[in-house]
Amino acid sequence: MTLPPRSAAPALLQVDAIVGRLAGTQALQEVCRFLHESFRHYRWVGIYRREGEMLVLDAWDGPSQTEHTRIPIDRGLCGRAVREGATVIVDDVRTSTEYLACFRETRAEIVVPIRQADAVVGEIDIDGNEVGAFDASDRRFLEAVAARLSDALGPTRAALPTV
């Protein structure tokens, strides 16, 4: 699904407004709510904070919370995004051996690293209910959102530099 540029620019302004008036987990929670409500194909939105070799769910919005509130960085698509320091898009999670199943309806996933300097300190994880739900426009938009969330994550414990 293509995210029209005319949707992305005002959405980034809204993210700026959120992180300008809220801090920490409150800001992250509000960004999750905003993304989930504003983009129909973002069926579940979560933000994980990196704590050493673990990803810890800090905020989310969607139909229900995932059982994966703590993910070792050596597992799953979320771990792969941290290890590689790059956005991961999977068109059909049923074809991925790395996918950690959360919701029966999920068919696609995008995971975008959040950085502070050269370190991945967290990530945005979004599930979609349609095969091929995410494309390059989502990648560009969510990478811009991730850049705005760096300070909202605050100082993280043992965030290690990545590739």
pLDDT digits (tens, 9 = 90+) for 103-124: 678 889 999 999 998 899 999 9
Determine how β-strand 54-61 pairs with β-strand 70-72.
antiparallel
What's domain 5-153's architecture? 2-Layer Sandwich (3.30)
C-alpha 50/C-alpha 121 separation (Å) is 5
Query: What single-letter amino acid sits at 43?
Result: R
- Strand-pairing partners, residue 28, are none
Q: Which residue pairs, CB below 8 angstroms and at least 24 apart, start in 89-97?
A: 89/134, 89/135, 89/138, 89/139, 91/131, 91/132, 91/133, 91/134, 92/131, 92/132
pTM score, two decimals?
0.89
C-alpha 86/C-alpha 41 separation (Å) is 21
The answer on pLDDT for 160 being more than 60 is no
How is the chain split into domains, by residue range? 5-153
pLDDT in tens, 28-87: 999 999 999 999 999 999 999 999 999 999 999 999 888 888 999 988 888 999 999 999
C-alpha 123/C-alpha 142 separation (Å) is 10
* Contact present, 32 and 59 (Cβ < 8 Å): yes
